[in-house]
Amino acid sequence: MLELDLQIASDTPAPSEAQFRQWCEMGLRQRQGDSEMTIRLVDEAEGRELNRTWRHKDYATNVLSFPADVPDDLLDIPLLGDLVICVPVVDREAAEQGKARDAHWAHMVIHGCLHLLGYDHIEDDEAEEMEALERRLLEELGYPDPYADDDSEAPHHSETPRKDHE
């Protein structure tokens, strides 16, 4: 079972809680047992501040993933972590890339959930594994391949801040 805390701190309309739940459940499907996570929807000012604080990059990015850092032997809770999604950035990207809004949102949420599960895309082989899984999950939801027209060397969508960057 998924316990999802959806925090809306943006004035820009966003997908419904039911959509977020569906996308999270798909992204976390391979996980056994219960999961707890938070999704915080923000505007550009908060997104920029968080990206500057945690990644030292002075712009709002689409998705930030904050995996929970709870020792297994300390607490017996299924806490995965938090996603912070900048609503205007995700909407703008969908328009600029000619993608359906829901398809791009689904991709961002699933991508962030995979980061919470430990997936990454720093190395090429890790990126290939993560992207293949994203494609498969999105296809099951009826969405097109998000990388089909991606011939650029653009950075991947979400980033996972590390607390050791402080």
- Residue 135, beta-bridge partner list: none
pLDDT at 29: 92
pLDDT at 161: 54
Please list the rounded mean pLDDT of every run of 10 residues in the chain (166 residues). Answer: 96 96 95 91 98 96 91 74 98 96 97 93 89 96 88 46 38
118: left (phi > 0), else alpha (psi -120 to 50), else beta? left
Rg (CA), the chain: 15
pLDDT at 159: 54
pLDDT at 150: 59
CB 47 within 8 A of CB 86: yes
124 Cα distance to chain centroid: 19
How far apart CA 129 and CA 142 sit, in angstroms, is 20
How far apart CA 114 and CA 143 sit, in angstroms, is 17
Domain ranges in the chain? 2-144
pLDDT at 153: 38
pLDDT at 157: 45
Superfamily of 2-144 according to CATH: Metalloproteases ("zincins"), catalytic domain (3.40.390.30)
pLDDT at 32: 81
Model pTM?
0.87
Distance of CA 47 to CAs 13, 59, 112, 154, Å? 16, 8, 15, 19
